[in-house]
A and B are shown apart, each in its own frame.
Chain A
């Protein structure tokens, strides 16, 4: 079906270009020589392309450490979450027990009280538990997830109960039932949850900043904030943009590769 270029096409192209400008110039700045700020008439490329800014940035902060810490934070959070939400999701999907609705309501309080604003008291708790400046301190508030519990509850309810019965008749215990029936049939839900969890924790700044002090624990976002502080002094924007690229590249590239998956996952993260 052939169609002509319409006004709506033009509008979307213009909007998309405007939205892209910050990313494009971040990239451009990061490969321009540091002593050549953009000026009128010389807005895109400098006299040469250089990776010098990346080299400089690489010296300023311990990036490999920050990468490892971000990976530990993100996957450590996810690994425990997957276990806890599978357990609670199954209980609320398939079991009857006294106080079920009350317990579900208590868990769902997390949807009504955003944990992110409780930084003061949660910081005190982390101190009291002796977890300050550890990897666990970053992850532990997210290990219990009301959102994940609801998501898995929904997924498990859609699994035909006859499949569980058949497995039980064959003598399967709970773990085996989960492994052979519920988990394999709920993989899309796990993937959606994982993408949302990974991207939100990869991007998190305030909480990691509060509960850590040393570079041995601090994730990329906190490393970037340190770079910001040093940049303010000398306005080394080339280095700052190179550092920003280092922080945002993994997720942006993942998104380029798996656009549909990401968008579907985020759309389901609203939990309608």
Chain B
């Protein structure tokens, strides 16, 4: 009886001494767990964002002795107004590249997302050798952009390229896929549609599999044909999936530029150039930094139209609901 009583007594006496320490540690523990992620995201996402915005308001020094100079929104004005700019070379092409970027992104999304839906419908059936068809449609999504582009650089090659060889064999005239201004952007768009459609398809496949079979059985009994079922059952039920894929596709589209490294470097004459690639081409010269930062801010603002929508509709609401 004595020993346990003693243990109990020491516990009682020691508890008040230990407790404040332990609870302070316990109090700080969650912050310790969160700290690595938070610090890294601060240093490589939040801080550079603020620096990009600040940097876009300055003109960089032109000589070593000069200070950088606060110019307000002048860099933005310069980008859009090529008549009064100090750097006509940049503002002459900026609008063109901005329009290229919009055409590139909108057309890849508007072709590849509906096509992805068709792919998913076709694959979501009893199908022999399903694995082969699914592999064929999805594998481009797993290639590096630069690898995919390298493959297409051969397809698009002027004389010995696959596309022109095929055209010739049908007696058709060949096409300069990458070397004329009217084709270069379209050629790049085709590559990205080929690459991305399979990726968007898997979201539709996941969506299709979540629709209960018996809805279609009921529709069958009512005599609805396959088109009516797709139009009035499948599409409406996948509306959220579609919205989600569109947002993902737009977000990805504005950032997809690595292919240009293998497909004409944005040329000829910037006819296929895209904003992020232009930033990449120009940023090594410090004299361009004001403009380069301003272009990055414009790109960020466009992107955030989509990411913030996505975040608000798909993530934050759910997180709020849960906690």
Q: Is B292 an interface residue (CB 8 A)?
A: yes
Selected interface stretch from B12-20, B88-96, B129-137? B129-137
Instruction: Name the distance in Å between A29's Cβ and chain B's nearest Cβ.
Output: 6
Contact A87 B199 (CB under 8 A): no
Q: Is B315 an interface residue (CB 8 A)?
A: yes
Instruction: Name the distance in Å between B50's Cβ and chain A's nearest Cβ.
Output: 9
Selected interface stretch from B104-112, B139-147, B211-219? B139-147
Contact A103 B34 (CB under 8 A): yes
Instruction: Name the distance in Å between A117's Cβ and chain B's nearest Cβ.
Output: 5
* Complex contacts, A97 vs chain B, CB 8 Å: 27, 30-31
A125, B47: Cα distance in complex, Å: 10
Instruction: Name the distance in Å between A207's Cβ and chain B's nearest Cβ.
Output: 10
Supposing A87-B33, A206-B258, A235-B160 touch, asked if A106 and B38 sit within 8 A by C-beta, the answer is yes
Supposing A9-B127, A95-B30 touch, asked if A115 and B45 sit within 8 A by C-beta, the answer is yes
Supposing A87-B37, A241-B154 touch, asked if A118 and B119 sit within 8 A by C-beta, the answer is no
Interface string of A69-88 (1 = CB under 8 A from B): 00000000000000111011
A244, B315: Cα distance in complex, Å: 37
Contact A113 B143 (CB under 8 A): no
Selected interface stretch from A46-54, A144-152, A180-188? A144-152
A11, B123: Cα distance in complex, Å: 10
Selected interface stretch from B3-11, B78-86, B180-188, B302-310? B302-310
A87, B283: Cα distance in complex, Å: 36
Contact B131 A120 (CB under 8 A): no
Q: Is A12 an interface residue (CB 8 A)?
A: yes
Total number of residue pairs linking A and B with CB closer than 8 Å: 280
A110, B304: Cα distance in complex, Å: 11
A270, B131: Cα distance in complex, Å: 22
Contact of A114 among B43, B51, B155, B255 (CB under 8 A): B255
B320 (CB) vs chain A CBs: closest residue: A101
Interface size class of A (residues with CB under 8 A): 35 or more
Q: Is A214 an interface residue (CB 8 A)?
A: no
* Complex contacts, A55 vs chain B, CB 8 Å: none
Contact of B151 among A17, A22, A87 (CB under 8 A): A22
A257, B141: Cα distance in complex, Å: 16
* Complex contacts, B33 vs chain A, CB 8 Å: 87-88, 90-91, 95
Contact of B155 among A1, A22, A90 (CB under 8 A): A22
Contact B292 A120 (CB under 8 A): yes
Contact B30 A91 (CB under 8 A): yes
Contact B155 A25 (CB under 8 A): yes
Selected interface stretch from A35-43, A59-67, A163-171? A35-43
Instruction: Name the distance in Å between A44's Cβ and chain B's nearest Cβ.
Output: 11
Within 8 A of B (CB), among A213-229: 221, 224-225, 228
Q: Is B21 an interface residue (CB 8 A)?
A: no
Contact B144 A157 (CB under 8 A): no
Supposing A16-B132, A115-B45, A125-B44 touch, asked if A255 and B142 sit within 8 A by C-beta, the answer is yes
A124, B194: Cα distance in complex, Å: 35
A256 (CB) vs chain B CBs: closest residue: B135
- Report which residue of A110, A231, A247 has the largest number of chain B beta carbons within 10 angstroms of its beta carbon: A110
Instruction: Name the distance in Å between B318's Cβ and chain A's nearest Cβ.
Output: 9
A38 (CB) vs chain B CBs: closest residue: B165
Contact B147 A111 (CB under 8 A): no
Contact B157 A237 (CB under 8 A): yes
Ranked nearest first, the 10 interchain pairs of A and B with the lowest CB-CB distance are: A144-B40, A121-B48, A203-B144, A16-B136, A37-B160, A91-B33, A88-B37, A141-B44, A87-B33, A97-B30
Q: List 21 A-B contacts (CB under 8 A).
A: A8-B122, A37-B159, A43-B165, A87-B33, A88-B33, A91-B34, A95-B33, A110-B41, A117-B296, A120-B55, A140-B44, A143-B36, A144-B38, A146-B41, A150-B315, A206-B257, A221-B144, A240-B153, A248-B147, A259-B134, A270-B245
Report B's interface with A, CB cutoff 8 A: 27, 29-34, 36-49, 51-52, 55, 119, 122-123, 125-127, 131-148, 150-155, 157, 159-160, 162, 165-166, 168-169, 194, 198-199, 202-203, 205-206, 240-241, 244-245, 248, 251, 254-255, 257-258, 261-262, 276, 279-280, 283, 289, 292-293, 296, 299-300, 303-304, 307-308, 310-311, 314-316, 319, 322-323
Report A's interface with B, CB cutoff 8 A: 1, 3, 8-9, 11-13, 15-17, 19-23, 25-26, 29, 37-41, 43, 83-85, 87-88, 90-92, 95, 97, 100-101, 103-125, 140-141, 143-146, 149-150, 157, 174, 199, 202-206, 210, 221, 224-225, 228, 231, 235, 237, 240-241, 243-244, 247-248, 251-252, 255-256, 259, 262-263, 266-267, 270-272
